[in-house]
Amino acid sequence: MARIASARLSAEPSSPEQHDRRRRILRAAARIGGEKSLERVQMHEVAKAAGVAIGTLYRYFPSKIHLFTAVMAAQVDRFEEGITRPAPGTPPEEAVADLLVRASQQLLAQPVLAASMLHASNAANGATVADTGRIDGTFREIVLRTVGIEVPTAQDVTLVRLLMQCWYGVLQSSLNGRASMADVESDIRLACNLLLAPRSNSH
C-alpha cells in the first residue's frame, strides 16, 4: 500500500527549467502509472524516466501520493482546456453530466492510471498536498460556470463538493468491476439532476 503523504510541503518550481523538469516528471509518472499499479511504481524509476535526480523528484513530490495527485491535477487542467460550450438550450445539469461522462471515459480508458490517481487524491491531506486544492478548485469552477452560477453561495459550494465525491465513488465502482460504463453514465446523470437541477432552476 502507498504510504500516506509526507507532511513536508512540495517545492514549487519558479524558473522555466524547473517547470520543465516538473512537467517531465509528471509525464513519466503518467506513462509508468499507466502500466503499473501505485504500489508497484518506484520513485527512482520515475526519476530515471524523467531524466532527473532522485533528490529533484522528492523535492517536488515528497511521496507517491503527492506525485499521483499532481498527475490527476494536470489531467483535470487539460480536460478543462478542452471543454466546449454546450449546445444552446441544454439544461445546465445535463451539460455538467455530459462533461463528467466525457471525463469518466477519458480516465477509465487508462484504468491502472485512473486507480492510482484516485487512490492518491483520496489519500492526500489537503494541508500538505497542494494539488488537492487545485483539483477541487478547477472542478468547482467547471461545474459552477456550466450551471451559470457566477456568485456561489455556501450551499452551491457544498453541492459541488458532494457531486465530486459522488463522481469519485462512481469511478471507483467501475474500476473495482462493480459498475459498467452504462452504469457510470446513468449514475452521473442522476447525481447531476438530483444535486444541480434545483440550483440551476433557481438562478
Distance from C-alpha of 130 to C-alpha of 9, rounded to nearest angstrom:
8
- The residues, ordered by sequence, that sit 6+ positions from 181 with a Cβ below 8 Å of its Cβ are 104, 105, 108, 174
Q: Would you identify the CATH topology of the domain 16-201?
A: Tetracycline Repressor; domain 2 (1.10.357)
More confident residue, 10 or 74: 74
Distance CA 152, CA 122 (A): 25
**Is the pLDDT assigned to residue 10 strictly greater than 50?**
yes
Residue 86: predicted pLDDT: 82
- Residue 4: its pLDDT value, please? 43
Residue 202 pLDDT class (50, 70, 90 cuts): low
| Contacts (Cβ under 8 Å, ≥6 apart) of 8 | 62, 128
Q: Predicted confidence band at 3 (pLDDT cuts at 50, 70, 90)? A: very low
For the purposes of burial, counting CB atoms within 10 Å of the CB of 110, is it exposed (0-12), middle (13-18) or buried (19 or more)? middle
* C-alpha dist (Å) from residue 175 to 63, 99, 109: 23, 19, 11
What is the pLDDT averaged over residues 82-90?
Answer: 84
Question: Whats the size of the chain, residue-wise?
Answer: 203
Helix or strand or coil: residue 179?
A: coil
User: Distance between CA atoms of 106 and 108, rounded to whole angstroms?
Assistant: 6
Q: Which three cell numbers stand for residue 145?
A: 460556470
pLDDT tens sequence across 120-174: 998 988 878 989 999 999 999 999 888 888 899 999 999 999 999 999 999 999 9
Number of H helices and number of E strands within the chain?
9, 0
Cα radius of gyration (the chain): 18
Tens-digit pLDDT profile for residues 21-34: 999 999 999 999 99
- Distance between first and last Cα of the chain: 45
Report the pLDDT value the prediction gives residue 200, as an integer from 0 to 100: 59
Rounded Cα distance, 21 and 24, in Å: 5
Read off the pLDDT of residues 166-200 as tens digits, 9 standing for 90 and up: 999 999 999 999 999 999 999 999 999 999 987 65
Residue 88 pLDDT grade (very low, low, confident, very high; cuts 50, 70, 90): confident
Q: Does position 203 have pLDDT exceeding 70, yes or no?
A: no
Q: How does pLDDT run across 33-81, given as a tens digit for each residue?
A: 999 999 999 999 999 999 999 999 999 999 999 999 999 999 999 888 8
Q: Residue 6: is its pLDDT beyond 50?
A: no
Res 15: pLDDT: 79
Note the pLDDT of residue 106: 92
Give the pLDDT confidence score for residue 201 in this predicted structure.
58
